[in-house]
Amino acid sequence: MPKISHKADALPASAIRKLVPFADAAEAKGIHVFHLNIGAPDIKSPDCALDAVHNLSLHHVSYTHSAGLPSLRRKLVEGYYKKVGIDISQEELIVTIGGSEAIEIAMSVCCDDGDDILIMEPYYTNYNTFCRKLNLHLRTVHTNIRDGFKMPDMSEFEKALTPKTRAVFINNPGNPTGTIYSKETIMEIGKFCLEHDLFLISDEVYREFCYTDEPYFSAMNIPGLEQHVIMVDSVSKRYNLCGARTGMFVSRNKEVMTAAMKYAQARLSPPLIGQKASEGAIDAPQEYFDSVREEYIRRRDYTLKRLNAMEGVFSPVPMGAFYTLAELPIDDSESFAKWLLTSFSINSQTTMVTPAKSFYSNPADGMRQVRIAYVLEVPELEKALDILEEALKQYPGRTLR
């Protein structure tokens, strides 16, 4: 029997999804699982997106241009990016299969095997998975839960730099921390990239989920950095179209776009119907975003109040996205998350959270932390957090510090 490759064998299983079999098993036993483990919101997509699907007149479902439907690209440029102050042309945008593909293409275009990417930790764990697939290394700058993941001094970036560093990767607002970087911070990072001739890959998929009144500042708008920036974007979270798998790869660097197109062409085409839904979604009125934002502020405030009222729990208030990292009085977040699914329930209900170990270069840093996605309505969050609170009392690995 042939053996699978060492590389596939060593690839880390997604921390966010690897507990899924235990959740499936719990659900098969009739236990209701509150999914706070994944950024899959329950909010309705804008009607214009759903109408675009229902009104689709289809003869067959064809491939689209490898860079996406021209009509969608035009509408993204004119109807969305222009409105949020990002001035790009259609040629500077490729529609990808979700933000995930845009990330992988961005890394591939910037880095050769063995190269380094600089990133602040804790980070979205799949960034590391993509690096492993591509033989790249993430070099991390640590940020600390106890001071609210405050942006470190740029000297920390200098320290993490190696001769093999080709890009800085930022996620703004950030998953899993919910951190938003100010214009000043983004400008500082841009200056660093310019000085060291690095690409800046900016994952901005949570752009519309900002709960401060400060205007959002995109890396695309750093003056003088036009040739360095690759923006990763997606309609998934913005319009609750996660399953549309419509992402965006954006850069003003022609060489970058030419290279990215080769990757896009190899996989032929992004999904057609999701692109049609996305095209419809762009007509969503500002009130849609406003009401979604209000709803998330409500959910965040409730979640954070509850978490920080639990004995031994600490979670800094996130300013963006819809996640928070919480430090819990537990021995091992992975064991705890698994225990919740296999050995604990209240009235046949339990809660699923994501262990934070894989968000850090040193898993020990996330040993006592979990990521909570506040993606349910408050009454559901209430039940989910009631369960978490009781679980923390009963968990055999409880360790108050």
Per CB under 8 A, which of residues 330..359 are in contact with a second copy? none
Q: By C-beta, is 2 or 223 nearer to a second copy?
A: 2
Residue position matching structure tokens 């697939």: 133
- What is the CB-side half-sphere exposure of residue 14 using CA atoms within 13 A? 10
Q: By C-beta, is 42 or 87 nearer to a second copy?
A: 42
Alpha helices in 310-371 (DSSP H): 333-342
Question: Applying CB under 8 A, which part among 201-209, 215-223, 250-258, 319-327 lies near a second copy?
Answer: 250-258
DSSP character at residue 359: G
Site for a second copy in 273-312 (CB under 8 A): 273-274, 277
Q: By C-beta, is 9 or 287 nearer to a second copy?
A: 9
Question: Applying CB under 8 A, which part among 2-10, 143-151, 181-189, 298-306 lies near a second copy?
Answer: 2-10
Distance of CA 84 to the CA centre of its chain: 20
Q: Which one-letter amino acid corresponds to residue 235?
A: V
Shortest distance, CB of residue 353 to a second copy, whole angstroms?
17
Interface with a second copy (CB under 8 A), residue total 85
d(CA 49, CA 52): 5
Give the residue, chosen from 151, 161, 259, 317, that forms a contact with a second copy under the rule CB under 8 A.
Answer: 259
Site for a second copy in 75-134 (CB under 8 A): 97-98, 100-101, 108-113, 115, 126, 129-130, 133
Site for a second copy in 177-236 (CB under 8 A): 197-199, 227-228
Q: By C-beta, is 112 or 153 nearer to a second copy?
A: 112
Q: By C-beta, is 130 or 322 nearer to a second copy?
A: 130
Give the residue, chosen from 29, 83, 150, 262, that forms a contact with a second copy under the rule CB under 8 A.
Answer: 262
Question: Applying CB under 8 A, which part among 209-217, 252-260, 320-328, 358-366 lies near a second copy?
Answer: 252-260
- What is the CB-side half-sphere exposure of residue 195 using CA atoms within 13 A? 10
Site for a second copy in 37-76 (CB under 8 A): 38, 40-45, 49-50, 53-54, 56, 58-66
Shortest distance, CB of residue 304 to a second copy, whole angstroms?
24
d(CA 401, CA 398): 10
Query: Which residues on neighbouring strands pair with residue 250, listed in sequence order?
Result: 93, 231
Question: Applying CB under 8 A, which part among 261-269, 301-309, 336-344, 391-399 lies near a second copy?
Answer: 261-269
d(CA 185, CA 151): 8
d(CA 47, CA 277): 10
Give the residue, chosen from 141, 220, 256, 387, that forms a contact with a second copy under the rule CB under 8 A.
Answer: 256
172's CB contacts (< 8 A; 6+ apart) are 179, 180, 181, 186, 202, 203, 204, 206, 219, 320
From 244, 243, 232, 186, select the one nearest 207 (Cα to Cα): 232
- Cβ atoms of 88 and 77 within 8 Å: the answer is yes
